[in-house]
Amino acid sequence: LNRIKASGLKLQFCTNETQATREQFVKKLQGLGFDISVAEVTAPAPAACRILKERNLRPHLLVHNDLVPEFAEIDKTNPNCVVIGDAAENFSYANLNEAFRLLIGMEKPVLISLGRGRYYKETDGLKLDVGAYMKALEYACDIQAEVVGKPAKMFFESALAEMGVPPQQAIMIGDDIVNDVGGAQRCGMRALQVRTGKYR
């Protein structure tokens, strides 16, 4: 990363991290020695907030407790949509059922997902990601979620806009063949898969 920055190439970190705010995410990476700022991070929660404001949506949040501050300026009274992220321990039956009941009771249910990942890797092994729970709500409510994070085209376009670079002049590097590589390629970018993390 230091060599990329020193070369003068533009760099943007694209993450589906939805268990922490961008500030917390950056602080963690800085603690590991990475030279990174919040402005260099494209993440799903801020993109979701833009959509919520533009469409006057009031979300019921099924997200990780540490992500809630990203939605501080969003009206959450009398919800007319559900926003789902990697809620980890908050993915209880009761919480999923509450989201289901809200959606099934809406005339035009709106489910916004902060990603579509199947699983991710932690130090103690692989863990189910938001996509598995998103699919459960889609199936139960017979609806299609709007995905805000990777691999959504809009997500990559947002990162490219931040850098001011057209897709054909950018390359995405990541470990996820579907969300990183596939999503970037559908956006017109080149992509490179690294054999670390959950690459298989």
- What is the pLDDT at residue 167? 97
* Residue 190, pLDDT score: 97
Q: What pLDDT is stored for residue 198 in this prediction?
A: 73
Residues 128-161 have pLDDT tens digits of 999 999 999 999 999 999 999 889 998 999 899 8
- Model pLDDT for residues 103-121, shown as the tens digit of each residue: 999 999 999 999 988 888 8
pLDDT for the residue 112 = 97
* Residues in the chain, pLDDT under 50: none
Predicted pLDDT at 42: 92
DSSP notation for 72-119: TTS--SS-SEEEE---GGG--HHHHHHHHHHHHTSSS--EEES---SE
pLDDT at 111: 98
Ordered structural domains, the chain, with CATH: 1-149 (3.40.50.1000)
